[in-house]
Structure 1
Amino acid sequence: MTLALEIVLVITSILMVIFVLLHRGKGGGLSSLFGGGVQANLSGSTQVEKNLDRVTILLGLIWIACIIALNLINTYSGNPGPVPA
């Protein structure tokens, strides 16, 4: 169970970095590299940006849930963890 949560955590971390970099910021961001820059400036927020926001929020929620679950498993598994020096 712990290994599966750790794998999901790594995958969601990498995807979060990618999706956050794809967001259009004040300067255009990396999303303008894929052709969204001109249309997004003319029409405000496009459907692609809205979907990108939704996916990023969903990934963030999965990421937070994995962190909480791993912490709970580590706390209640009976393993004391590293001993302080």
Structure 2
Amino acid sequence: MNSDEAIVAELRRRGEWQMGGYGIAEVLHGSGHADLMIENRRGNSRRLTVDLPSSGKPQRWLYTDAADAADWVDQFFVLLGEEIDTGGLSLT
């Protein structure tokens, strides 16, 4: 199992992640979750709370067991990109 700390560090390392004008502007680490600030080019932003492995909650975006924290984040970004593309985060 990947540690919360390793996943949060990987999310922070990729702080410059961009997809279609959106990016992660901030990553806060809470007990069993990460609080992400998602921002678009126009300055609109929304907070998104993501359950981490220690929460014991399902990680529904994982389509296969994550090999490491980078793989976990890669799989999460697939879901995040799909949500943004379909308007699921309602950032605009």
TM-score by length of 1: 0.28
Structure holding more strand per residue:
2
Structure with the larger helix share: 1
TM-score for both structures, normalised by structure 2 = 0.27
- For the pair shown, which has the larger CA radius of gyration, 1 or 2? 1
